[in-house]
Chains A and B, each alone.
Chain A
Amino acid sequence: MLAQSNERHEQPVSRRNFLKNTGMVLGGLVVGGVAGSLLRKPEAPQQPGATPAPTADYNQALMYFSPEQFKVVEAACERIFPEDEIGPGAKTLGAAYFIDHQLAGDWGFNARDYMQGPFFPGEATQGYQGRLKRREIFDIGIQELNNYSNSTQQKRFHELAAEQQDAVLKAFETDEVKLTTISASAFFKMLRASTLEGVYSDPLYGGNKNMDGWKMKNYPGNQMAYTQVIEKDEFVKMAPLSLRDHQH
């Protein structure tokens, strides 16, 4: 495990035990029933941070991308957050699956964004003013990554060597690639941001596989309390917990 250290391991506090031990008695008015709902299930708490036995990951199938699109996105994510001596890269962490799943839902459809017209180009300080949804921007961006790779290297993006892929991504990042429908740099920015989301969001979304993104960063994930840590001078490492540990 990446986060193993020689330091004393803080025993993560199980949520149910935490609430039992603090004896949180809500006197006077009742201010909410979180205690009640948490104490509902009497079963023994599971081993904190226990990793389930490896099984097939049924989450790793495509909801939106074609297999060809997926290859491009997976290769690009890996260049943004590559595997190295520190630990796994975006590919192993499942970031491309994460992006695929996100584009299939609300986020991909800009469901909670204001998408009504009229549409006018604005100043940079006014933010995105296009009519395209994120999934459409990805469709175009992926195609353009292939087009640019084909025109400069006669290969598709995912077939290029790592350094060549970097050069293509750099050309998008700096708007050296001129596109008519979308902004190359804005697409790159979205790709970079969603790669990091895929690396570091809770594993329930399909990325950050096995919490290895968190382990690299010494991020403890979903812990109930840091009252024992907050005043400590030394850095306290602990095995991360995910939201799954909360539910099961």
Chain B
Amino acid sequence: MFEGYTAEELQSIFIMQGFSGLSLFSVLLLMGLGLALIFGQMGVINMAHGEFMALGAYTVFLCSNLTHKYAPAFGPYYFICAIIFAFFICALVGALVEWLMIRHLYHRPLDTLLATWGLSLILQQGYRSIFGAREVTPTLPDWLMGSYTLKEGLDIPINGVFVLGLSIIVTAALMLFMYRSKFGLRLRATVQNRKMSGAVGIHTQQVDRLAFAIGCGIAGIAGAAFTTIGSTGPDSGSRYIVDAFLVVVGGGTASLLGCIASAFGIAQAQSVLEFFLDGTKGKVATLLVIVIALMIRPQGLFPSKVRGN
């Protein structure tokens, strides 16, 4: 398929293809991070993760509407604030869900799957009642849309760069939080030995709630960021959920490093396979590769030595 092109054209294509792999990586990573915390660290299978992402996206939509109505001059900058709002709103809802529902189910991980599926139905229908069944589109600032032309035929999408940058920041923040803060220490202790942690004075319930809230908050950031590349509708979240789980499972659940590695691997596989195969076949091939990899190495890329509980 490459005959008849100059070396320069091919070079541009390969650079862009490399970048699209990288931007897919950042998308998967952003989806997976929140889940890695909730599922990987706490063992809760949050099927409503996608709906938290949709909540983040709707937050951006609301912010966009409010900004353009009351403070149009703020238009170019509101997006950054909207992302922060999305984090806090999702975290708040997450904490509420944890308090009402999840905390009663920690000892039954498979049941969290069913209960959160029910939650996702309710949230989806809620979005449909509040925002209408149709998709909505927030007005995005101009600086975010469009491309940066390095040279003729070599365009780098700005929103891709933005999502990549955001995912790096979120990952770094989460890593610092997990491995360098007091809370992170408590969380890791709770995951490794809940009873013992309680005995040495860690308020494990509080730790759980905060961890769940942060996981949901990160989902909100992801959803907010995805308004630049995808759709915002009642069922937008459900499009991401399987991919997000595969990233986390592929990474070996208990380590953030594994999550990063598996997001990278899956993104590159999908990006390359979609380039050489077409459309649906590329996606099927990617999923097959992941499933077979998991069959061969069920612990994932970076298995944990210590299991929770």
- Do these two chains really belong together in a complex? no
